[in-house]
Amino acid sequence: MLSMTGKVILITGAGSGLGQSHAVLFSKYGADIIIQDVNGDGAAETAEMVSANGGKSHVMIGDVRASDEFSEGAKIAMAKLGPVDVLINNAGISSRGRAFEEIDDEIMAEMFDINIKGAYVATRSVLAGMKERKEGRIINTSSIFGMAGTAQGSHYCGAKAALIGLTKAWAKEFAPWNILVNAVAPGFIPTPMTNRPGKDALREARIATVPLGHEGEPNDISHAVVYFASEGGKYVTGQVLSPNGGVVI
């Protein structure tokens, strides 16, 4: 049986959806979790779920775009749980189905700042420690839309494609310190982000494009993330794993 006992996992956006699912699965394997999110209620809910698995956690509230606040929060969290072994850059926002003309500078900046700047901010807060220990895993969260594109969401597709580029660049740059960097690119997974009221028709239309005939579950992504973080993933870096039911092959 896989064991993550003694490992410390920092997950951004861990108060909902996929990040919450990752926290729960890692805690089942014995890991301690730093639950980072801008949403305090969601983060507290995740902490209860981790505790129900007998796991330890620390809640770190804040915006992934706020560098100084994040690095202070990470220091406090690591003083409590220990240095971060695995960072999961997961925080993100939906594209909200915006046509090109609707994507102004502010909307564009928000999307890129949360996805790309957020990944830099979080990675900066743990990288020095990983380099010192010559060990670490970083897992970024892309999307099938970052691989294949979609209409009405070019800012989302661009940000998610950029995450694949920086995953590959960081994988090469950090390899001398045995820090492995990979990405997951989820397909259609029902979460509060995707399962929004009034979007049933869109959801059905998406399901109709899935060769396996159904949506995935948050845990399908969490197992991929756990693989990248596990002993079995020790020779895997710069890769993108896309649990997507066959939509993008």
Site for ligand NAD in 71-90 (CB under 6 A): 90
Site stretch for ligand NAD (CB under 6 A), options 17-25, 47-55, 122-130, 233-241: 17-25
| Nearer residue to ligand NAD within complex by CB, 131 or 207 | 207
Name the DSSP letter for residue 94.
Answer: -
Q: CA 132, CA 187: separation in Å to the nearest integer?
A: 35
By CB under 6 A, residue 91 contacts ligand NAD:
yes
Strand partners, 136: 179
Question: 62 with 43: CB under 8 angstroms?
Answer: no
Question: 2 with 230: CB under 8 angstroms?
Answer: yes
By CB under 6 A, residue 245 contacts ligand NAD:
no
Q: Give the dihedral of Cα atoms 127, 128, 134, 139; nearest 10 deg.
A: -10
Question: 34 with 9: CB under 8 angstroms?
Answer: yes
By CB under 6 A, residue 33 contacts ligand NAD:
no
By CB under 6 A, residue 232 contacts ligand NAD:
no
Structure tokens at 180: 């492995």
By CB under 6 A, residue 141 contacts ligand NAD:
yes
| Nearer residue to ligand NAD within complex by CB, 63 or 135 | 63
Select from 18, 29, 69, 62 the least CA-distant residue to 217. Answer: 18
Select from 119, 120, 96 the least CA-distant residue to 108. Answer: 96
* CA-angle at 133, arms to 137 and 8, nearest 5°: 50
| Nearer residue to ligand NAD within complex by CB, 89 or 237 | 89
Select from 178, 176, 177, 161 the least CA-distant residue to 236. Answer: 178
Structure tokens at 91: 């925080």
Concerning whether 156 is annotated as a catalytic residue, the answer is yes
Tell the smallest beta-carbon distance from residue 65 to ligand NAD (Å).
5
Structure tokens at 81: 């749980």
151 CB-near residues (< 8 Å, 6+ apart): none
Candidates 34, 78, 103, 114; binder of ligand NAD (CB under 6 A) is 114
By CB under 6 A, residue 32 contacts ligand NAD:
no
By CB under 6 A, residue 37 contacts ligand NAD:
yes
| Nearer residue to ligand NAD within complex by CB, 3 or 209 | 209
| Active-site position among 29, 120, 156, 235 | 156
Site for ligand NAD in 157-216 (CB under 6 A): 186, 188-189, 191-194
| Nearer residue to ligand NAD within complex by CB, 13 or 136 | 13
Interface with ligand NAD (CB under 6 A), residue total 28
Candidates 93, 108, 148, 236; binder of ligand NAD (CB under 6 A) is 93
Binding site for ligand NAD (CB under 6 A): 12-13, 15-19, 37-39, 42, 63-65, 90-93, 114, 141, 143, 186, 188-189, 191-194
